[in-house]
Amino acid sequence: MAVTVNAQDAGKGLKDHYKNLFPVGVAITPRHLQDSSTSAFIRKHFNSLTAENVMKMEPIHPEEDRYNWGGADAIVHFATGNGLKVRGHTLCWHKQAPKWMFYDAAGQLVGKDTLLNRLRKHIHDVVGRYKGRIYAWDVVNEAISDRQDEFLRNSLWYQICGEDFIEHAFRYAHEADPDAVLFYNDYNTENPWKRDKIYRLLKKLLDANVPVHAIGLQGHWSVKDPSRELLASAIEKYASLGIKVQITELDVSVFTDDKIPEQRHFTAEQERLQEQQYMMLFDTFRKYRQVITGVTFWNLSDRSTWLDNFPVRGRKNYPLLFDEKLQPKKAYWKVVEF
Ligand code: HAH
């Protein structure tokens, strides 16, 4: 079976199988591009890139008057030179944000005007630098609370600015690059009560003519979650607002909770469940091809993924379509067979 598929595959990469549907992307670090076999692997399978970390606020803007452009420039340069798209990630988030953003020289929290001015400057500088080369931006990441009794997350952005920071972030990004596709990005987007809060937020922004064009479903899923039904109903609900949908950070954890202990191997049972889950996911993405404008994986292969340290530090995970030797897993063949 695998032999037949291999023969038909004829040097095609993942992106080639999906070329009539949507771009297939991956989150990388600039170091991946310095190794020629890794960069060849990236070019074979993917036609869109996201910086896993180097475009986030703290790494790219560590001090008020200093930017660290090196890593971001390298990714954009590689993408431009090789005909890959770039998704920017991310302009306004409660994590990996530099402390200086929220404090004055005396160590006191700044007021709303100062914080919004700093956010505006940051967004103009970053989006402006890559104008025309980064086609989409995750403008606001994870602003909705995970608590059922709370609407927005109680972050410093929210504490200082109230709800307004969200609308301002989108307006600043649109000023800086009117052609960029602007995303609200979040996780647990299929959970009905979080989904309904996100819908409410987006509806409010759209009603106020805020330039938000799309939603990113991060897609940090597991072999058991989400169900086909919840995924479909989330996609439909967001799409009913007239916005596009992307899967921005896809991986399928082999663990279903934090209590499962670490193990030495990818088990046959995990492999089977993961194959089924990936099949269901891509089958659903293909069904909604009219609204899904991209699918991006969060890391290249099981060799190294953020899930090796999250939510349990040091618990090796196997969430991607390529194994530790960068070889396609069984799930890969299921995803490209349709
Ligand atoms: C994502 N958060 C972030 O968007 C991405 O920037 C990061 O590299 C990895 C995952 C997912 C997440 C989290 O950070 C905390 C709790 C749940 C999910």
Model confidence pLDDT, tens digit, residues 286-324: 999 999 999 999 999 999 999 999 999 999 999 999 999
Strands (E), the chain: 24-28, 48-51, 85-92, 136-141, 181-186, 214-217, 220-222, 244-253, 292-297
Give the catalytic positions in this structure: 142, 249
Task: Enumerate residues 6+ apart whose C-beta is below 8 A from 167.
Answer: 205, 208, 210
Burial class (CB in 10 A: 0-12, 13-18, 19+), 114: middle
Binding pocket residue ranges, ligand 1, CB within 6 Å: 52, 141, 187, 218, 220, 249, 306
Decide if 7 is inside a domain: no
Give CA separation, 225 vs 2, 197, 221, 271, in Å.
27, 20, 6, 15
**In angstroms, what is the span from residue 250 Cα to ligand 1's centroid?**
11
- Per-residue DSSP letter, 25: E
Give CA separation, 19 vs 25, 333, 336, in Å.
12, 16, 11
Q: What is the pTM of this model?
A: 0.96
**In angstroms, what is the span from residue 95 Cα to ligand 1's centroid?**
9
Residue pLDDT, tens place only, 131-164: 999 999 999 999 999 999 999 999 999 999 999 9
Please tell me the residue having the least CA distance from ligand 1 atom 9.
306
Decide if 1 is inside a domain: no
- Tokens matching residue 284: 């659903």
Decide if 4 is inside a domain: no
What whole-number distance in Å separates Cα of residue 6 and Cα of residue 333? 9
Decide if 328 is inside a domain: yes
- Tokens matching residue 55: 């475009």
Residue pLDDT, tens place only, 8-43: 677 899 999 999 999 999 999 999 999 999 999 999
The domain that contains 322 carries what CATH number?
3.20.20.80
**In angstroms, what is the span from residue 263 Cα to ligand 1's centroid?**
23
Percent of the chain with pLDDT over 90: 96
Decide if 230 is inside a domain: yes
Indicate the pLDDT class of residue 264, thresholds 50, 70 and 90: confident
Decide if 9 is inside a domain: no
Residue 336 three-state SS: helix
Q: Domain span at residue 54?
A: 14-336
* pLDDT, position 11: 87
| Number of domains observed in the structure of the chain | 1
Decide if 250 is inside a domain: yes
Decide if 108 is inside a domain: yes
Residue pLDDT, tens place only, 42-66: 999 999 999 999 999 999 999 999 9
